[in-house]
Chains A and B, each alone.
Chain A
């Protein structure tokens, strides 16, 4: 959206330069000029965002073409089939649980880590680096490492637990624990990335605020709750949007660690779309599911902007 706004501002300014002595051209020229400036951004947006979204919606109203049989218009049949599809509901439910856990946990952890490494402590650079490392690793590598952390018997987790004499479950092979295991991986992976933003924001805060609060006798918790946290709200909004998108977008670890199993216990929406689209080759149904995912994301993003914008103090 920002890309579109800047050339637009130039276009709005353009009519101020006086062009005289001609017919229709003088009024037309600035407009053409403006539209030309808009064009590159508009073409990119249309080609890679709007056109795919619209064509996905159109595809979802047709049947999947197979062999010599072309696509036929079937209205909302795909949506009806979706409502009757238990795996879709399972994936949606899983995704809701996944998002509800990953988003707050990763943000809380990121904020805690940022506050920890914001202070002058010994080995601060080392701490920052180690908090940030998971972000640098590709998700595929992370998932393969965690696969062995979770492996029953000799996995890291089981070795630690066996020190305390606790018999560990088969983490990824159990319908009750598998999703939780994937949530832990996602939190571990995301938190370091979000920490960087919080850290940058914390460094921007004026030290005078802390001094003033100290003079007034405010406790540290009170200062955090009433001063630091509200001032971090713009960052929190940014991080929140990213976290929401990530919780629907990142599925690499599922492909590596569980393939959605056992019995769909870890199937997330996007993973199911991939399965339907590129394993079942039911492209029309995959388009239908994509429309749902897109609408969900759009609704969440819209809600966030409308809801939070009123509450956020921008400096």
Chain B
């Protein structure tokens, strides 16, 4: 199956390129844009994207969009970067917002600022939630990776936009109202602080006669990308994990260690969360099976939970401590290099069209992603959706407190250092303090060339 896909995608791509060549020879005026996109949530995503591309072509004769489904985020990045390295990059791709520094360092993407010509273009680039732009911009404006870092340190006010938010999400807390009621708690009120989380959790956690847990109070998943959920704890403890230039991390700050200690304590001290790491993929299932009364997960699971939870549930912002907050996540539009000016203008047109207020609202309703601009939430369609399903607006309201997802130069390596540290603390092979000092030392070593 995987092998079939591996062959299929390049083959389909090659056929499309070949067809495109024939096509463009026939009508020389046509501009062809190749567009790689991933699918990371359930639902008929490819159908929606193909529909958008067809609508865009109808409204903009002369521009053709080759929308190519490229697998998961990771697959899409691999395909985009390998095709870039072999000299045939896609024109547009949707990739993780956290891949920004990787793409800059590979010299693969072009900044949007150069193509924003008219006032309308410039206004469009400013129309997104600021929390989403944090992962889409860097300081100094130059396409040379090394200089970008240097300039960044010199003048922080100069901003370069490398990505445009498209399919973005954030972490929220789901709670089972029936379980709350059964535990004698107010079913319509989720714990709003860490202290409430612990006291409510004590009432929600249940054990059977043999002492085995029959219901946990909370699950914060910790496989795959634990750092992302961890940011919900660190942000609440009022500390950032990295600087805006992506050249420094602060994993060994006392507030970070405290946040990790709290995560560990949920299992070991308060005994309201399972011990060891908690699988991201099975956490929603645990919630449906009433094995846990609360869970932290992506807003991307909203539609999944709505369809599968056999009980009344609520969606809340993550509990606060010294502060409040959560990390954003998800994918941005990127413009690849090696495009003619004409093509680049067409690409911009397409991205502007895809992220217009109406489209952002439609995309958000169809997928469960957070609509990326404030005015999308003012459209009639979105207003009606929120009335029917108020939980959808929680993610939007939490955006005020949201921070950028951890992203640095050599991103995945730095992220792994932190992930390993978090997991080591959760399974008890290191104390939170040791784990975060080790992670910081490793991150500092990796980031040294970029400072």
Contact = CB atoms under 8 A, between A and B. Distances in A.
Nearest to B210: A165
Given A140-B2, A147-B279, A67 B416 contact: no
B1 A263 contact: no
Which of B74, B410, B416, B421 gathers the greatest number of chain A CB atoms within 10 Å? B416
A262 B2 contact: no
B170 interface: no
Contact of A170 (B1, B107, B277, B412): B277
Interface in B226-264: none
A172 B212 contact: no
Contact of A259 (B144, B211, B212, B224): B224
Contact of A281 (B102, B274, B279): B102
A261 B277 contact: yes
Contacts of A138: 1-2
B426 interface: yes
Contacts, number: 107
Assign chain B's interface to a size class.
35 or more
A154 B279 CA distance: 14
A307 B40 CA distance: 49
B145 A67 contact: yes
Contacts of A172: 223, 277, 279
A290 B211 CA distance: 48
Contacts of A275: 412, 416
A165 B410 CA distance: 48
A263 B424 contact: yes
Nearest to A141: B1
Contact of A153 (B107, B277, B289, B427): B289
Given A262-B223, A278-B74, A279-B412, A68 B107 contact: yes
Interface stretch (B60-68, B161-169, B280-288): B280-288
B413 interface: yes
Contacts of B134: none
Contacts of A167: 210-212
Contacts of B211: 167
A275 B74 CA distance: 11
B410 to A, nearest CB: 7
Nearest to B144: A68
Interface string A140-166: 100000011001111000000010010
B282 A252 contact: no
A66 interface: yes
Nearest to A168: B212
A50 to B, nearest CB: 22
Contacts of A228: none
B365 interface: no
A261 B106 CA distance: 28
A56 interface: no
Given A66-B106, A252-B2, A175 B429 contact: yes
A34 interface: no
Given A140-B1, A172-B223, A262-B276, 18 more contacts: A67-B144, A138-B1, A167-B211, A170-B277, A172-B279, A173-B279, A174-B276, A261-B223, A261-B224, A261-B277, A262-B223, A262-B427, A263-B420, A263-B421, A263-B423, A264-B420, A278-B74, A278-B78
26 contacts: A67-B105, A67-B106, A67-B145, A68-B144, A140-B1, A152-B291, A153-B289, A167-B210, A169-B276, A170-B275, A170-B276, A170-B277, A170-B278, A172-B223, A172-B279, A173-B223, A173-B274, A173-B279, A173-B427, A258-B223, A262-B424, A262-B426, A263-B421, A275-B416, A280-B410, A282-B413
The 3 closest A-B pairs by CB, nearest first: A173-B276, A67-B107, A170-B276
